């Protein structure tokens, strides 16, 4: 391969985590994936990925969860950067520095977020100028949640979650996340969901009217009532302590509480920044939850914060 692209020293991209407001899981497909109908919301917990010109492909990870992130070629950010390099015909290795603030294996799409950030950072670094649509197609090949991490905001996901459609939505929301120190593996949670369902017929899921109405109204109480997750019972089955955390948060006044994606992070919706802070204090004081984090939502998807393509 030859490089026909101008090279700039480094580009930093900021990228949010996600919560699934609604996660409908359909039957297992022939390719092993489950058909999904989900509503994503991008939340204000961010990783930053910096791509720099380097002699070798490298990954370095900093931040509170760094120890749990692989730095070999299984790292999703590295895989994304190499996929873009192959697509655009670049043979310039990059060093990726990931500052990790999104919990790892927490059901918040942290790895997917880094992959989305790496795509955008390398696109800028190499001046390859791929459209968001082109990056989104590449993103879907890396992971089901990667296209949403690029786009951010609020969106309906179908297929494996990678096919996105816009949602008419308003309002600002205030979340509290109870972060578990025990990760749950996404494939194991889906397998447990299948096991619990046994041979029961599973309908193909679709977005609920309750969720769409809540998002149109911007009413946090309605949104709190509309939160659902078909993987929740499976996550509880694998980690029974998660049910206690949900119950405690609801008792302390959350408008809704739900396992985030495949867990084990629990997401609580509150009515204001002050109530979010109160809930953090109550959850921490009760000892039921270890680490708690607050975040506003929705927020924009992956975006350049330093470097030549700064928005
Ligand atoms: P999802 O919500 O998309 O199912 P998750 O939030 O549960 O994902 P991730 O944080 O994406 O889980 O991590 C899942 C696994 O992916 C980790 O255990 C880790 O080994 C691997 N991984 C690869 N690259 C990364 C990355 N850049 N950041 C975090 N984990 C990564």
> Is residue 253 in contact with ligand 1, taking CB distance under 6 Å?
no
- Longest Cα–Cα distance of the chain, Å, equals 61
Q: How far is the CA of 143 from the centre of ligand 1 (A)?
A: 10
Q: What is the mean pLDDT of each run of 10 residues along the chain (311 residues)?
A: 55 98 94 94 98 97 96 98 97 97 94 98 96 96 97 97 95 96 88 94 92 98 98 97 96 98 96 98 94 97 82 53
**55 is annotated as an active-site residue:** no
Question: How remote is the CA of residue 5 from the centroid of ligand 1, in Å?
Answer: 31
- Residue 290 has a pLDDT of 86
- Which among 18, 47, 114, 230 is annotated as catalytic? 18
Sign of CA dihedral 231, 233, 235, 241: positive
Measured from the Cβ of residue 8, the count of other Cβ atoms closer than 10 Å reads 16
Return the residue whose CA atom lies nearest to atom 15 of ligand 1.
Answer: 105
Q: Are 301 and 14 in contact (CB under 8 A)?
A: no
CA of 36 to the centre of ligand 1 (A): 19
Q: Which of 47, 114, 123, 145 is catalytic?
A: 145
Residue 298 Cα, ligand 1 centroid: separation in angstroms?
21
Structure tokens given for 282: 């109550």
CB of residue 109 inside a 6 A radius of ligand 1:
yes
Residue 209: per-residue pLDDT: 97
Closest-CA residue to 277 (of 251, 245, 254): 254
Is 18 known to be catalytic? Answer: yes
| Residue 162, helix vs strand vs coil | coil
Query: What pLDDT is recorded for position 308?
Result: 64
Distances (CA, A) of 87 to 82, 110, 135, 151, 298: 9, 24, 10, 20, 31
State whether the beta carbon of 76 lies less than 6 angstroms from ligand 1: yes
What backbone phi and psi angles, to 5 degrees, belong to 305? -110, -30
Best CA proximity match to 201, nearest among 85, 43, 76, 27: 27
């Amino acid at each position: 391969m030859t490089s026909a692209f101008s090279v700039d020293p480094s580009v930093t991209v900021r990228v949010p985590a996600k919560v699934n407001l609604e996660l409908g899981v359909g039957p297992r497909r022939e390719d092993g994936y489950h058909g999904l109908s989900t509503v994503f919301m991008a939340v204000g917990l961010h990783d930053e990925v910096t791509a720099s010109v380097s002699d070798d492909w490298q990954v370095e990870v900093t931040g509170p969860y760094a120890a749990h992130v692989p730095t070999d070629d299984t790292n999703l950010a590295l895989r994304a950067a190499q996929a873009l390099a192959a697509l655009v015909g670049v043979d310039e290795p990059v060093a990726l520095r990931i500052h990790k603030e999104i919990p790892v294996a927490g059901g918040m799409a942290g790895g997917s977020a880094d992959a989305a950030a790496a795509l955008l950072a390398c696109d800028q670094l190499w001046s390859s100028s791929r459209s968001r649509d082109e990056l989104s197609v590449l993103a879907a090949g890396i992971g089901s949640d990667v296209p949403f991490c690029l786009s951010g905001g609020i969106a309906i996901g179908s297929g494996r979650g990678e096919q996105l459609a816009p949602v008419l939505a308003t309002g600002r929301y205030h979340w509290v996340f109870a972060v578990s120190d025990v990760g749950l593996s996404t494939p194991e949670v889906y397998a447990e969901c299948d096991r619990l369902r046994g041979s029961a017929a599973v309908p193909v899921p679709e977005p609920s009217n309750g969720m769409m109405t809540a998002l149109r109204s911007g009413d946090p109480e309605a949104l709190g009532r509309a939160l659902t997750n078909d993987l929740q019972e499976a996550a509880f089955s694998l980690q029974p302590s998660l049910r206690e955390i949900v119950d405690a948060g609801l008792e302390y006044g959350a408008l809704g509480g739900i396992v985030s994606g495949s867990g084990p992070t629990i997401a609580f919706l509150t009515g204001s920044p002050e109530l979010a802070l109160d809930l953090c204090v109550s959850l921490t004081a009760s000892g039921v939850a270890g680490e708690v984090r607050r975040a506003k939502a929705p927020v924009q998807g992956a975006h350049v914060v330093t470097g030549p393509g700064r928005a």
